[in-house]
Structure 1
Amino acid sequence: MPQNSTRRSTKQISGEDIVVETAWLYYQDGLNQSDIASRLQVSRATVVNYLQEARERGYIHTKLSPEAFNTHRAAVALCERYGLKAAYIMPDGTGGMDGQASRIIRGAADWLPSLLEPGDRLGVAWGKTIYDVAEQLEQTVIADLTVMQLVGSMATPYGFSADVCSSNVARKFSAKCINLHVPAILSSAQIAATLRAETLIANQLDAISHCNKTLFAVGSCLPDSHVASSGVATQKELQDYIAKGAVGVLCGRFIDANGDPVSGPLDDRMMGIELDMLRHRDMGILVSIGADRVPAAVAALKGGYATHVVTNQSCAAAMMELG
């Protein structure tokens, strides 16, 4: 792009070119909007419109450095409390719960590519949080990356079934995808055992057991939690686990306040990775949204499932207090 000070009319630059020219002058040459308006002989409002159009077309990508979120006091304190390698703490903002959730999702999507390396085997959990992170990921190529579905699928009305979550993450990274071609929960332990013995399923289960990094959220044990609303557990089964000390759900498995597995009626019917296989991986990336999930998040931290956490300041403070 030209960088001299010669004034050029919009008659000489038109259509898509003037949008790119405006973006270059603003972001690369550092001119303010008034200077650009004078340079291009247009109004300042027109410059604003050109910059907005450049953003909408995807010409402009702006990100804050990860250091803005993982080196301040709240992040350092959370890492020290739970022995984490890193925490990415977003400011709460003023947009209410939806705005906070949006920030955490965007933060996780911005941070995730920098945490992955060529040859990684990334295990991906399921749920709305992980689905939303996948939607926000920018297209990035990571060589020889394999994305693996950690738990079987459910016919959920929400659109964020496990196979969709893993497939979307793989698509954004141009990665190989290993999906688990079974339901998350079966009607009997016998059917589940038979399926686990099938060569195709056995190979898929073996593959996901060798993931070296994981991306997950932890659900609550509230009556309206995804584990109940998606049909994985009935309300009676959910209450049975709660009575045994369950405070959270990770990949369809229940954990107590220390992160230890809670046994119950679903265990032998569940198709997916075992909790012990999720512990102490090279990297476990927990995306935690909402005060109602803080007890579950703390349980996951205590249980050794996470090395990295993405959340916001209020949730981080609640995790510190509960811990």
Structure 2
Amino acid sequence: MLSWEERRLLVKVSNLYYTDGWTQEQIAKKVGVSRPVISKMLQKAKEFGIVEVYIKDESALTVELEQKLEQKYGLIDAVVVPTVGFTPDMVKRSVGQAGAYYLSKNLKRDVKRLGISWGSTLSEVVKEYPYERREGINIVPLVGGMGTQHVEIHANQLAYELAKKMNGTCSYLYAPAIVETEELKERLVAMQDIAAVLEEGKNVDVALVGIGNPYKGSTMKAIGYLQDDDLQHLRKMGVVGDISSRFFDELGMPVKHSLNDKVIGLTLECLKEVKKVIGVVEGTHKIESVAAALKGDYLDVLIIDEQTALALLQEL
């Protein structure tokens, strides 16, 4: 039996080859394997009945959505997870599994620094990540995270858990994500230990991030970083989403808000400089936030549930 991930990849390769007319060499470059591997995959697709005269598989719709997302936003890759009929918890778990599988299969051995943000969706990615040996890799938190609430989804904790699963090391950013004043933020980021980790964050090879909607299902509000007054002010300023607690408007532009000046972590400008940014997101309440993040060109790879992908393409 093929796993869902294997079936998805076979369908994607078959679609590119038989429907879009790509050469095996072109497909190999996109997928990141050798041409003979693509040849074997095409043969396997026939053996499992995925390819006859046409491509038949329940993943065909999601593969089509992936291609539309890639073309519209210039993404390196998109993964759309079939989740019809799933409960919200099942959707989050499935997207987490897809994120973990993608990261494990596409993380090149020359990647020595992997940055990770925070949030419940990324927590699922880390939970689902397999135990493997990747000596020499260091996991770097991209945003601060301290306190006693929801510790399991803080960037420091996720960095620690992922490092354990990869048999690597991790850094710790000993600071909250958002502090009370700009003066306190300036004092903290000047401290040697914190400054060193922030510098590491700027130089990661790959970044793994979530996307937040500050108004619906916001973890930042649940933790206490955002109050009702803050949310009203953010809305007036045109904020539609955040990455690593950094807020942006509907065009993906960073918003000049006092909260953005109190965040201890990677800026949106610096995130754009990272070679490969993988965004993992689920939930139709984040459509506007994801659309803005894509317009802002922050993501190279998008891993998303089917309903949100459909709504995203229909809305735009």
Question: Per the shorter chain, which TM-score range?
Answer: 0.7 to 0.9
Distance 2:74 2:273 in 1: 12
Which structure 1 residue ranges, 5 or more long, are not aligned?
1-26, 28-60
The 3-state SS of whatever aligns with 2:170 is strand
Distance 2:11 2:79 in 1: 5
Cα offset, 1:67, TM superposition: 1.1
Distance 1:125 1:268 in 2: 18
CA contact (8 A) 1:155 1:161 kept: no
Distance 2:77 2:99 in 1: 12
| 2:45 matches 1:103 | no
2:121 is aligned, of 104, 108, 129, to 129
Q: Report the identity percentage.
A: 25
Match of 1:44 in 2: none
Cα offset, 1:62, TM superposition: 5.1
2:84 is aligned, of 93, 103, 107, to 93
Q: Number of residues paired by the alignment? A: 264
Cα gap change, 1:250/1:64 in structure 2, threshold over 3 Å: closer, same or farther? closer
| 2:5 matches 1:64 | yes
CA contact (8 A) 2:92 2:124 kept: no
Cα offset, 1:280, TM superposition: 4.5
1:279 is aligned, of 269, 272, 278, to 272
Cα offset, 1:93, TM superposition: 3.2
Distance 1:206 1:215 in 2: 17
Q: Give RMSD over aligned pairs.
A: 1.9
Distance 1:95 1:223 in 2: 20
CA contact (8 A) 2:80 2:309 kept: yes
Match of 1:115 in 2: 106
The 3-state SS of whatever aligns with 2:239 is coil
Match of 1:215 in 2: 208
Cα gap change, 1:62/1:156 in structure 2, threshold over 3 Å: closer, same or farther? farther
Give CA-to-partner distance per residue, 1:73-124, whole Å, 9 cap, x none. Answer: 1111110011101111111232232222221111111111112122422110
Of 156-165 and 298-307, more deviation after overlay is shown by 156-165
| Greater helix share, structure number | 2
Q: Which amino acid aligns with 2:177?
A: A
Cα offset, 1:68, TM superposition: 4.8
Distance 1:238 1:69 in 2: 43
Cα offset, 1:224, TM superposition: 4.3
Q: Which amino acid aligns with 2:5?
A: L
Cα gap change, 1:280/1:189 in structure 2, threshold over 3 Å: closer, same or farther? closer
Give CA-to-partner distance per residue, 1:284-321, whole Å, 9 cap, x none. Answer: 11111000011111111111111111112211111112
Match of 2:221 in 1: 228
- In the TM superposition, 1:104-183 aligns within 5 A as 104-120=95-111, 121-155=113-147, 157-158=149-150, 159-183=152-176
Give CA-to-partner distance per residue, 1:127-159, whole Å, 9 cap, x none. Answer: 111111101111022242221100001325233
Of 243-252 and 195-204, more deviation after overlay is shown by 195-204
Cα gap change, 1:69/1:293 in structure 2, threshold over 3 Å: closer, same or farther? farther
Distance 2:236 2:245 in 1: 17
Q: Which amino acid aligns with 1:160?
A: I
Q: Which amino acid aligns with 1:317?
A: L
Which structure 2 residue ranges, 5 or more long, are not aligned?
14-62
The 3-state SS of whatever aligns with 1:247 is strand
CA contact (8 A) 1:241 1:263 kept: no
Match of 1:73 in 2: 64
Cα gap change, 1:223/1:98 in structure 2, threshold over 3 Å: closer, same or farther? closer
Match of 2:248 in 1: 255
The 3-state SS of whatever aligns with 1:185 is coil
Match of 2:54 in 1: none
* Greater C-alpha radius of gyration: 1
Q: TM-score with structure 1 length normalisation?
A: 0.77
CA contact (8 A) 2:247 2:260 kept: no
Distance 1:317 1:218 in 2: 17
